[in-house]
Structures are given as C-alpha cells and as structure tokens.
Amino acid sequence: MQMLGPRPSALDMLSILEIFGKSSVYAFPQDRRAHFFERKAVRSVTLMNDASDAGGHWVKVAIGLSDAVRRFAPQVVVTLGYHASYSMWLCILKLLYRRFSLIYMSDSKADDGKLYRAKEWLKRTIIRQFDGALVTGEKHRAYARSLGIPLARSRTGFDVVDVEYFSLMSEAARNSESDVRAKFGLPPRYFICVSRFLPRKNVDVVIEAYCRSGLHKLGQSLVLVGQGRCGDRLRQSRSSA
C-alpha cells in the first residue's frame, strides 16, 4: 500500500524572482514589499537588493536569471512586460533550454499613443517568443492578439487592487479624519486624480477641465497624487490656473 502525503499547495509550487530591490520609477518607501519578503511565504530571491533598473547591471541580471532558471527548473515563467531586458533574456533562455512556457504581463493597448509600423513589427517579432499574456482588460487582449497572442492564450486580471488593504486604510483614515486632513493639507471638498506625472497620462488635461468647469468657484478643489518627470510643470500650471 502506497502512503500519499498531502498535496502541495499553489504557494508551494510558486517561486518569485525579483530583479531589483529598488525602483527608479516609484521613489516612495516600499514598506509592504519589505513585509512581504520578510514573511517568506513562498520561495523568493532578489538578484540585486540595493540596486534599481536605472543603474544598468544587465550582465549581472543575465547571469542571475540563468542561474535561477537552472535552480528553480520552472514549468511556467510569468514576467512583467515583453520589452524589458530581463524579459528578452528570458526569451533567449527559453529558446536555449525549451523547458518552460513564457507568459508576459502588460497593460498596453492600441490607443495608448501613436503606433509606428516599424515599432509594431519589432513588438510582434519579440512577442512570437511568448506563449501567452496576462493583461488588464479586453482592449489589452485585443492588442495582444494584434501582436500575435491568440485570445485563447490571453487572460485578464493583471491590473488588480488589494481591496482588503485599502478598505482597512480608508476606515482608519475616517476614524482619524481631522489628523489625516491636517497631515496632507486636504481641503474640505475635492476631486482627486491619482496618476504618474508623465506626458502620456494627460494630467494637464484634468487640470484644464477642472479650471473650465468652474467648480473651484463652488468650493470644490482638485487634489493631484503622484510623481514623475512632469511634476514641476504640473505644479506650475496648477499655480497659474
């Protein structure tokens, strides 16, 4: 008689590989990231804990990824984006080892900006190396299909929100409303725009629409939350509005 032990859970079969411990895009402290890796709920490795993607290190990344693929021997690899250097190196490793399926995550869609024929051809050439896509919505699935991923091999669910976390934090904020308002200098009534301050996010259009609406005359303020290279320009436009 063969004795069978408990079946491994999904977490037991999951490994997480973080390339950089810091972000060049999000400069604010990543407290929840630190808590996640402290728990060690799954097998997790950070290749360069004190570096960010702004510093290069691509030779170290290639070596680290190659070692991780050999060590973890994955059946499926899910990577963020298809054009990042680490994603392209995973494409190479897949061609070399042919041991795993490769899926990319993306929130790109066709109407994000102007499309250039040569650039789209290059995207299709890269994406042919992937086996599937995890994307944000149906428009993103349609764009993935135009790049070579059939609908049968794409799924939505990439752009998710931790509802429990934000529910708890909002409840805590409501219980300390006066302190929170004082801390962040919040007006009595306001609209809020949460975005990265980048040209393609069109936050300046939000400011213009707010100014044209006349809501400021009714005591409704506009609060912008975010960061990015357009931050100074947006603050100037807000001051001159």
pLDDT digits 0-9 by tens, 194-231: 998 888 889 999 999 999 999 989 999 999 998 888 88
Structural domains of the chain, ranges and CATH numbers in brackets: 11-156 (3.40.50.2000), 183-240 (no CATH)
Percentage of the chain modeled with pLDDT above 70: 90
- pLDDT of 163-183, one tens digit each? 888 899 999 999 999 999 999
Residue 40: predicted pLDDT? 62
Give the separation between CA 168 and CA 203, rounded to whole angstroms.
28
Structure confidence at residue 118 as a pLDDT band (50, 70, 90)? very high
Q: Mind spelling out the 3-state secondary structure of the chain?
A: CCCCCCCCCCHHHCEEEEEECCCCCCCCCCHHHHHHHHHCCCEEEEEECCCCHHHCCHHHHHHHHHHHHHHHCCCEEEEECCCCHHHHHHHHHHHHHCCCEEEEEECCCHHHCCCCHHHHHHHHHHHCCCCEEEECCHHHHHHHHHCCCCHHHEEECCCCCCHHHHHHHHHHHHHCHHHHHHHHCCCCCEEEEECCCCHHHCHHHHHHHHHHHCHHHHCCEEEEECCCCCHHHHHHHHHHC
Inter-residue contact 135 to 105 (CB < 8 Å): yes
Tens digit of pLDDT for each residue in 9-51? Answer: 555 678 888 888 887 776 666 777 777 777 765 678 888 888 8
Q: Which two tokens stand for residue 91?
A: 């494409």
pTM of full prediction above 0.85: no
